[in-house]
Amino acid sequence: MPAEWERQTAVQLTWPHDGTDWAPMLDEVLETYREMAREISCRERLIVVAPEGKAPGMLHVVCPTNDTWARDHGFITLTDDNGHCRLLDFKFNGWGEKFRADLDNAINRRLYEVGAVEGEYVDHLDFVLEGGSIESDGQGTIFTTRCCLMAPHRNQPLTQAQIEERLKQYLGAKRIVWLNHGSLIGDDTDGHIDTLVRIAPNDTLLYIGADEQHPDLLLMEQELRDLKTLDGRPYRLLRLPMPRPIVDEDGQRLPATYANFLVINDAVLVPTYSQPDLDSEALRIVGEAFPDREIIGIDCRSLIRQHGSLHCCTMQFYSPLK
């Protein structure tokens, strides 16, 4: 499984429409998606999945959808040294059957059938795995969280050891790093790793810092300090700030995080939340991890209202396109 910063051929967006939960704020979220689309499409190919319409300058695939979280219903790509790739189609079940996902779960097959992506299609629809729940360093280490992969209605009655063996087999991994701590208030995903800890070049881990409402993140930080690379060295740790609380109409805190950034060709898109001091600090720290890329802030206040952010909306491909 490639590291996200390896050279990409395309990024997928699954477009918001009035049949999704975005309907009450569709104009606002569409502007955020247009901004993401502009930044992606000027650097690599953009695939837009939507029930209807056309996307000028983009590869548009017509397909019915439940929602827009491409990270979790999209293909997971494996590559080899000869340029071949496998497109792994795992089951998406609405983060443990919390939401309807039957239409989203059919998007990958549609992309493959119309020739939007190339590679060997691999059916893993008997196993639930969301793209946001795993991080790869491209060298055989996969990070994940126990609270997500062992959450109810994912892959029971499989044990942690059995799930680990499948991840190694399916993803070509040498080891699985399980984090036992870390979650965000308001998170529907049960602790996706891409909201908490991200891998960067040179054995660097970026992670979200704790605040008074997230003491469990201090325990996660200690776990990261104790971790070693495959060759026994400590990781370089870069601590991202925690955004100040953003709440919904009922006063409930939303799971805003700067860790949910997207690495694309020659740039990193970083979620911002109209908190200039913290936004600037997050952009600076991400720039430390990716000094050879342009660091671009994207206002994600619209996305967080549906409990997701920038990385959640996207999925990258490494296979050649037709």
Q: Catalogue the active-site residues.
A: 312
63 to 12, 113, 179: CA distances (angstroms): 13, 11, 36
Maximum Cα–Cα distance across the chain: 53
Q: What is 208-274 written as a DSSP string?
A: EPP-TT-THHHHHHHHHHH-B-TTSPBPEEEEEPPPPP-B-TTSPBP---TT--EEETTEEEEEE-S
CA 102 – CA 24 distance, rounded (Å): 22
Instruction: State whether residue 78 is helix, strand or coil.
Output: strand
Instruction: State whether residue 166 is helix, strand or coil.
Output: helix
Instruction: State whether residue 4 is helix, strand or coil.
Output: coil
Q: Which of 315, 286, 263 is nearest to 3 (CA)?
A: 263
DSSP structure class, residue 137: -
